[in-house]
Amino acid sequence: MKTVRIPPALRSETEGKREVHAAGGTVRELLDDLTSRFPGLRHQLVEDDDIAPFVNVYVEGEDVRTLDGLETEVHDGSTVILLPAMAGG
């Protein structure tokens, strides 16, 4: 299992959970698993079968867009960070 960190703005979709576990060997599989259990997340993370342009996904601290995008491999024990922009000041 991999740990996915849920940002505060999306926690209303994950019953308030800050971290959830998800199964899968790639970012795509992880997001599929995650959004099947928390369907409200889908439109906040995925657009046109890709990661939504206003969200960043980091695996081990690296933006998956600079790796293999949705096909980026995620190893057991890895932490995945979902990061939408926030503007509060």
Partner 1 sequence: MPGYRELLQQVKAEIDEVDVPRARDLLDGAEPPLLVDVRELDEWTEGRIPGAVHIPRGNLESRIERAAPDRTQPILVYCAVGNRSAFAAKTLGELGYENVSSLAGGYTDWKRNGLPTELPRSLDAAKRQRYSRHLLIPEVGEEGQLKLLDARILLVGAGGLGSPASLYLAAAGVGKLGIVDDDRVDATNLQRQIAHSTETLGEWKADSAKRTIEALNPDVDVVTYRERLTSENVDRILADGWDVIVDGADNFPTRYLVNDASVWHGIPVVHGSIFRFEGQVTVFKPHEGPCYRCLFPQPPPPELAPSCAEGGVLGVLPGIVGSLQASEALKLALGIGESLSGRLLLFDALATEFSEVTLRRDPDCPVCGEHPTITEYIDYVEFCSGRPTHA
Residue 16's φ and ψ, nearest 5 degrees, are 80, 0
* Binding residues with partner 1: total (CB under 8 A): 22
Instruction: Give the range of 21-29, 31-39, 76-84 binding partner 1 by CB under 8 A.
Output: 76-84
Does position 58 bind partner 1 by CB under 8 A? Answer: yes
Does position 39 bind partner 1 by CB under 8 A? Answer: no
User: To which H or E segment does residue 44 belong?
Assistant: helix 42-45
Write out the E strands in 23-77: 46-47, 50-51, 55-59, 62-63
Does position 69 bind partner 1 by CB under 8 A? Answer: no
Instruction: Give the range of 5-13, 26-34, 70-78 binding partner 1 by CB under 8 A.
Output: 5-13
Write out the E strands in the chain: 2-5, 19-22, 46-47, 50-51, 55-59, 62-63, 79-84
- Scan residues 9-38 and list those touching partner 1 (CB under 8 A): 9, 18
Residues in the chain: 89
Binding interface with partner 1 (CB under 8 A): 7-9, 18, 44, 53-56, 58, 61-63, 66, 81, 83-89
